[in-house]
Chains A and B, each alone.
Chain A
């Protein structure tokens, strides 16, 4: 899996209320959620984001609530992947479970600015900043998580396990 997209750069501790405010949680329709993605952090995001764009953020991205609506909103907004220094635990789990690619790399974050063009190779973990002409290696995804992705997410892996008896 390879992605190429424009960077939307954000700060540390971007919480789930900023990714998708609770006032919109009376629905779980991805299209509805996407309209309000990042609204309380960056009101322009939802209308200006283009398919394939990449969110880049400092530490602890996705902290706060367990709402899966957060990765759902990001994915439905067309974002191809999120790169952060670290992710909050539940957001990390949720992203893998519902298939939003995420990577951790402090160097790639430090060297990216809004508007830069990144090329990301999910399999090798290589992040190339085409604007700056630099390349970074993300932390490898644990093998167990890779298996989950290979199976097509948590539910698919469960279906397979059940089918096998």
Chain B
């Protein structure tokens, strides 16, 4: 057999064939199918329209109404009710509501719902996050989700893989977020279109799981179908205590075929900032110039995890956010929320003048809990800075890691964390 990439191996296994070739169309079995309060109502409508009576497996269809939670208005409440009624009718084991709900892509890995070796589809583009666990995970639309809810299978085109090798050690204040922003800056928002991105190298081997999740989260921002990190000891440590099903580690074979191989020396990678209005407009934080801020948001499926709040707490301890800045901190899940509180970070955040939001997508997609007015500028640890993403079409969003965000909240304009913490 030819050597294969980890992505090809997972796809072959789920298609029930020995091997697959990039470009080939396959029908594959799906381990987890995810929908949220924006995408699932359409999928549920299609499901019913097709005359389906049962989901293919009530343990494998996951619904997370996280975008407008707690319901921001009557229309979003109606959307969520569609999910709630469907979840009860089909006795779905993975339905999260009220105080159990968190941002989907933070919640599923944390709860062990997604495990290494899985094939996951989600009607949400950031489903690619789970590649951090060594799973093949990709975003699809609502009709695809409906098809999987009925059949448990979906068609896929086997992607080519681009390999990214990160050598050396990360510099201070640099995290998985900076690596992916740098890559998107280099290849562009369609630089990995239709392809899988595989992340390897010494720096990745040493990268925490939370940083890996942030890294894979933004593969879609390079147009990729999926991002993946070959599972290792760090993966094992993370999933061992969480996995609710048996899992399998796959690895790429030496000599496997890649469409491109890009190498980075991490000694050259500074904290990155993506400027409006595309994630590819990245610069070293020191090259951004003086950008005054009206709002800073620390949260989302990219950077709303404990590691992210930890670095924010470290920087904000004993400091105050600038008078001009509304600082909004959103722990991504109830568990993260409670841990952050136990660690005393809420005190630090509140003394810094921050607003602490319950877990929600909220302002990340301009939903609620921190919308921008015309002419306002935000720095966010989220993943998209499209026109109007966080509010008015005339508002601006910059993207960064949580250290840069926290330090910039203190100064009132975008700065390097070294300029705040000596």
Q: Contact residues of A with B, CB < 8 Å?
A: 13, 15, 17-18, 21-23, 25-28, 40-41, 59-60, 63-69, 72, 86, 88-90, 93-94, 97-98, 142, 144, 153-155, 158-159, 161-162
> How distant is the Cα of A23 from the Cα of B39 in the complex, in angstroms?
14
Contact indicator B146/A25 (Cβ below 8 Å): no
Contact of B79 among A26, A63, A159 (CB under 8 A): A26
**B148: min CB distance to chain A, Å:** 10
Known contacts A17-B388, A154-B143; A86 and B190 CB within 8 A of each other: yes
> How distant is the Cα of A63 from the Cα of B125 in the complex, in angstroms?
10
Contact indicator B189/A60 (Cβ below 8 Å): yes
28 of the cross-chain contacts (CB-CB < 8 Å) are: A17-B366, A17-B384, A17-B387, A17-B388, A18-B386, A22-B67, A25-B38, A26-B79, A27-B79, A28-B42, A28-B45, A28-B79, A40-B393, A41-B387, A59-B190, A63-B189, A66-B139, A67-B39, A67-B141, A68-B141, A72-B42, A89-B223, A90-B140, A90-B141, A153-B143, A155-B146, A158-B50, A158-B151
Contact indicator A97/B141 (Cβ below 8 Å): yes
Contact indicator B147/A158 (Cβ below 8 Å): yes
> How distant is the Cα of A15 from the Cα of B125 in the complex, in angstroms?
12
> How distant is the Cα of A66 from the Cα of B128 in the complex, in angstroms?
12
Q: What secondary structure prevails in chain B residues at the interface with A? A: loop
Residues on A with C-beta less than 8 A from B139 are 66, 90
Q: Is B124 an interface residue (CB 8 A)?
A: yes
> How distant is the Cα of A40 from the Cα of B122 in the complex, in angstroms?
26
Contact size class for B?
35 or more
Of the stretches B70-78, B92-100, B109-117, B247-255, the one at the interface is B70-78
Q: Is B225 an interface residue (CB 8 A)?
A: yes
**B119: min CB distance to chain A, Å:** 16
Contact indicator B140/A21 (Cβ below 8 Å): no
Question: CB-nearest residue of chain B relative to A143?
Answer: B25
Known contacts A13-B189, A21-B388, A40-B393; A93 and B141 CB within 8 A of each other: yes
Contact indicator A22/B141 (Cβ below 8 Å): no
Contact indicator A23/B366 (Cβ below 8 Å): yes
Contact indicator B190/A64 (Cβ below 8 Å): no
